[in-house]
């Protein structure tokens, strides 16, 4: 059995740090892509809400003008209303929050693995054991 030296421990720790950095960069890239992907959807939802408010406002004006025409003696027949449906069940904000939360949970689990690997490498009794620990983190 080969005894592990502090220099070897440092080298193994450096491998773990490099993998940790790669995963952190991948997480940051994923979060950026989430924002890029969801931003137009969130803006679209905001636009839909503004359009719906405008429709409600116009309906109120239409009703007010119809009442004014009735008061002037005209016969006004209401032959229906405009109905606009939009999907509330596919709430984009909620979906984005769920995606972010899932990414954060995954990141936290990986960070926990890194912390344990650092501890295990520094408490390893030989090079083979440290190598195995690092291999688990790198896979």
Per-residue tokens: 47: 């636009």
Q: Is 117 exposed, middle or buried (0-12, 13-18, 19+ CB in 10 A)?
A: buried
pLDDT recorded at residue 86: 46
Do residues 58 and 120 make contact, with C-beta atoms less than 8 angstroms apart? Answer: no
- DSSP helix/strand/coil, 17: helix
* DSSP code for 125: S
Per-residue pLDDT of the chain (139 residues; tens, 9 = 90+): 688 899 999 999 999 999 999 999 999 999 999 888 888 877 777 777 888 888 888 888 877 877 777 777 777 776 654 333 444 445 677 888 889 999 999 999 999 999 999 999 999 999 999 999 999 988 8
Residue 133: how many CB atoms within 10 A of its CB?
22
Measure Cα distances from 27 to 40, 64, 120 in Å.
Answer: 21, 54, 24
Backbone phi and psi for residue 63, each to the nearest 5 degrees, phi listed first: -65, -45
């Amino acid at each position: 059995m080969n005894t592990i030296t502090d220099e070897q421990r440092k080298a193994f720790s450096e491998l773990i740090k490099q993998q940790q950095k790669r995963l952190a960069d991948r997480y940051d890239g994923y979060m950026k892509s989430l924002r890029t992907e969801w931003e137009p959807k969130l803006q679209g939802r905001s636009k839909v809400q503004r359009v719906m408010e405008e429709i409600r406002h116009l309906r109120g004006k239409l009703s007010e003008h119809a009442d004014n025409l009735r008061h002037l003696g005209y016969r006004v027949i209401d032959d229906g209303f405009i109905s606009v449906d939009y999907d509330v069940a596919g709430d984009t904000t909620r979906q984005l929050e769920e995606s972010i939360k899932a990414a954060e949970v995954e990141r936290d689990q990986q960070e926990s693995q890194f912390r344990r690997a650092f501890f295990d490498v520094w408490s390893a009794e030989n090079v083979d054991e440290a190598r195995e620990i690092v291999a688990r983190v790198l896979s």
